[in-house]
Amino acid sequence: MAEEIISLSKIAKHYKVGTEIVKALRTISLTIYKNEYVALMGPSGSGKSTLMNILGCLDTPTSGQYILNKHDVSKLDDNNLAEIRNKEIGFVFQTFNLLPRSTALENVMLPLIYAGMNKANRIEKAEKTLADVRLSDRITHKPNELSGGQRQRVAVARALVNDPSIILADEPTGNLDSRTSIEIMGLFEEIHKKGNTIIVVTHEEDIARHAHRIIRLIDGEVASDEINPNIRKMADYTVEQMA
């Protein structure tokens, strides 16, 4: 039987704006299993960014329960949320979020510093993870010396280095051209095959088609939750598309 890694029960998130209450999420109940590859979609204002922030332990719900890898994170304080984030979640952002004055190796080592790993082990682990994303020849380069695709690979390596329970990617190809986007989605395909759980937040249908399950939000609620019958893989792209 598949092992649950995320369980959301009646999650709601309300914000007070002036005298009004904005219901960003109404009642979200979801289960995501270990080694699933999920796309989270929805138009602007659908609540997908709010849901991503809750899934990523960047925010807490107004009501409801969130179990992440057997931890109830619904009501944790900021310090405990930060600890869970560093241990359980690897983030990949649209804007890469790399430290501009640090090398690729130093950027990837950063989560290991927070985890308290000693320097020799940090270097060894970061070098191996950069090799896994095929960037061994760029470890001493700073972000401004790397292409957009290489920067996103560094960001993916940083997300992976702590062996997190889930990879949470927010519009990971939003700042990349078509060919580089295909390469990054190919990298996610490889990561998924190795057993990682992946959640990609995207508004692009082409990107969502790489996922095995597609969840669509509208007005703070789940509008549909379906298995993708036509998963897009690297092998489906033509030489021209990759050129």
Give the C-alpha separation, 83 to 97, whole Å.
19
Q: Report the mean per-residue pLDDT for the chain.
A: 92
Residue 242 has pLDDT above 60, yes or no: no
Q: How confident is the model at residue 178 (pLDDT cuts 50, 70, 90)?
A: confident
Contact assessment for residue 168 and residue 155, using Cβ atoms and an 8 Å cutoff: no
pLDDT at res. 241 = 64
User: What global pTM score does this model have?
Assistant: 0.91
Q: How confident is the model at residue 243 (pLDDT cuts 50, 70, 90)?
A: low
pLDDT at res. 239 = 56
Domains defined along the chain, listed by start: 36-62+76-242 (3.40.50.300)
Residue 200 has pLDDT above 70, yes or no: yes
Q: How confident is the model at residue 115 (pLDDT cuts 50, 70, 90)?
A: confident
pLDDT at res. 123 = 95
Place of tokens 């760029």: 138
pLDDT at res. 234 = 75
Give the C-alpha separation, 89 to 68, whole Å.
10
Q: Look up residue 46 and give its DSSP letter.
A: S
Contact assessment for residue 62 and residue 12, using Cβ atoms and an 8 Å cutoff: yes
Residue 210 has pLDDT above 70, yes or no: yes
Q: Look up residue 65 and give its DSSP letter.
A: E
Residue 135 has pLDDT above 80, yes or no: yes
